[in-house]
Amino acid sequence: MKLWQKEGVSTAEQIERFTVGRDREMDLYLAPFDVLGNLAHAHMLETIGLLSTDELTMLNTELKTIYQQIQAGKFEIEEGIEDVHSQVELMLTRVLGDVGKKIHSGRSRNDQVLVDMKLFSRDRLWRVAEAVRTVFDRLVSRSEQHKDDLLPGYTHLQIAMPSSFGLWFGAYAEALADDMLTLQTAYRLANRNPLGSGAGYGSSFPLNRSLTTELLGFEGMHVNVVYAQMSRGKTEQTALTALAAVAATLSRMAMDICLYNSQNFSFLTLPDALTTGSSIMPHKKNPDVAELLRAKTNRLKALPMEVTLVMSNLPSGYHRDMQLLKEILMPAFDEILDCLEITDFMLEHLQVKANLLDEPKYDLLFSVERVNELVLQGVPFREAYRTVGKEIAEHTYVPPRNLHHTHEGSIGNLGNDLINEAMNQAIAGFGADKAKAAIRQLLSK
């Protein structure tokens, strides 16, 4: 019998199949977090007299056993069981009888799935943040390694001014530092406790929501119980917006790599082990890894709009539409983590070509350097600009290839130390240590 089912009442098989959908598959992501929510809730129920100390001890022991099964990959949602919440309660009841049935006191499946989703999102957002930091560190390292290797800079896909691989790698590092702020925002929204909001209207039991907030290591709670339910959808959309920001950075970098790896640019090379071939053209070395990275990350950028459309025009309160948010959100974390891992691997092995700007076809890249050279001699900028334009037109222009860029964030002063500090501050703003410490303590009680 399902948690919501009444005696003598059954649901048509087609309706059950349609409404359950992929919930049993998606809920496996939530299993460890459902147990954590149960542990915190049980401790709170004991403090308000709805569980005895002995009952809490029994529940505590059995919940930790289930948690260990989940960690060992031995947990499954049995055939005919609707979701992870039902499975965990069934396992408790099989072992503990009526004591297992008490765990649902003061709760609805609505706030139960909400707390599971918050804990899941918090966990995965932190994993993404760690993976972003790994790629960031790789980019900063490559930036320093190639700070003296010049690269053509483009506007409108026309050669513009000298750049460098130091600047190119460092630009994407700073982009990820900005993306980390978006991840931090999503993390902090996920790091709010909805437990105790029930079906969205609270409970007549004297629940101690501050205690469960502390036990689960949340930064704070969703105070208003109606808004706690309304945060469903907002949390997912904000998380996916953060993933989309990271995806946009990776997508743009993947496009650069595809472009720069082509023979017509030939700025960098993917080693043979990172390329694939053609079934008809023996010379081909295709950058499939960068192309698929581009496609996968572009697809991730669409997901916030999917959530927007699912949530469109919903009034306050819970609606079953929200069930579909799981299958949008959960695989997205797997995808972005996979993309970040392959990005780091690709960046590690990317081969940069030196002395690119020695070729005569890049002479015009240094026209601004020539203008500035005249300005430093006292020539007004507009006059210097016209003079260099005339030199180019009359083929008397000689490119000054000795660069003297000293300001912050330029070829000669990358500012990677400042970018690294920005990343450190963004990481510190998560407050993830508090959450991890609280979960360790909860599992050791």
325-357: pLDDT as tens digits:
999 999 999 999 999 999 999 999 999 999 999
Indicate if 433 and 298 belong to the same structural domain. yes
> At which of 104, 122, 152 does a domain end?
104
Indicate if 118 and 91 belong to the same structural domain. no
Indicate if 73 and 92 belong to the same structural domain. yes
Q: pLDDT at position 275, please?
A: 76
Q: pLDDT at position 185, please?
A: 97
Which one from 10, 278, 349, 404 is the annotated catalytic residue? 278
Q: Is 56 within the bounds of a domain?
A: yes
Q: pLDDT at position 2, please?
A: 52
Q: Is 370 within the bounds of a domain?
A: no
Q: What is the CATH number of the domain that holds 300?
A: 1.20.200.10
Indicate if 244 and 155 belong to the same structural domain. yes
Rounded to 10 degrees, the C-alpha dihedral 183/184/186/190 comes to: 130
Q: Is 261 within the bounds of a domain?
A: yes
> At which of 104, 121, 145 does a domain end?
104
Indicate if 36 and 134 belong to the same structural domain. no
Query: Whole-angstrom Cα distance, residue 116 to residue 36?
Result: 8
Catalytic annotation present for 349? no
Output 84-88 pairs: Cβ under 8 A, ≥24 positions apart. Answer: 84/27, 84/28, 84/30, 84/31, 84/34, 84/116, 85/3, 85/27, 85/34, 85/109, 85/112, 85/113, 85/116, 86/2, 86/3, 87/27, 87/31, 88/31, 88/34, 88/35, 88/38, 88/63
> At which of 79, 104, 129 does a domain end?
104
pTM over 0.85: yes
Count CB neighbours of 330 within 10 A: 21
Indicate if 94 and 139 belong to the same structural domain. no
List the domain range (segments joined by +) for residue 191.
Answer: 109-204+223-358+415-444
Alpha helices for 301-415 (secondary structure H): 303-311, 325-349, 367-376, 381-393
* 220-237 tens-digit pLDDT: 999 999 999 999 999 999
Q: What is the CB-side half-sphere exposure of residue 325 using CA atoms within 13 A?
A: 28
Q: pLDDT at position 18, please?
A: 65
Indicate if 264 and 175 belong to the same structural domain. yes
**Structure tokens given for 308:** 């927007």
Q: Is 181 within the bounds of a domain?
A: yes
Indicate if 314 and 238 belong to the same structural domain. yes
Indicate if 130 and 148 belong to the same structural domain. yes
Q: pLDDT at position 4, please?
A: 45
Q: pLDDT at position 156, please?
A: 95
Q: pLDDT below 50 — which residues of the chain?
A: 1, 4
Q: Is 215 within the bounds of a domain?
A: no
Q: pLDDT at position 287, please?
A: 83
Q: What is the CATH number of the domain that holds 61?
A: 1.10.275.10
Indicate if 245 and 196 belong to the same structural domain. yes
Q: Is 1 within the bounds of a domain?
A: no
DSSP state of 50: S
Indicate if 161 and 100 belong to the same structural domain. no
Query: Whole-angstrom Cα distance, residue 173 to residue 177?
Result: 6
Query: Whole-angstrom Cα distance, residue 257 to residue 247?
Result: 15
Extended strands (E) in 209-330: 220-221, 268-269
Catalytic annotation present for 86? no
Indicate if 184 and 52 belong to the same structural domain. no
Q: Is 375 within the bounds of a domain?
A: no
Structurally, the chain folds into a number of domains equal to 2
Q: Is 368 within the bounds of a domain?
A: no
The answer to whether 92 and 207 have CB atoms below 8 angstroms apart is no
Nearest residue to 199 (alpha-carbon basis) of 226, 222, 223, 218: 226
Q: pLDDT at position 271, please?
A: 86
Q: pLDDT at position 21, please?
A: 65
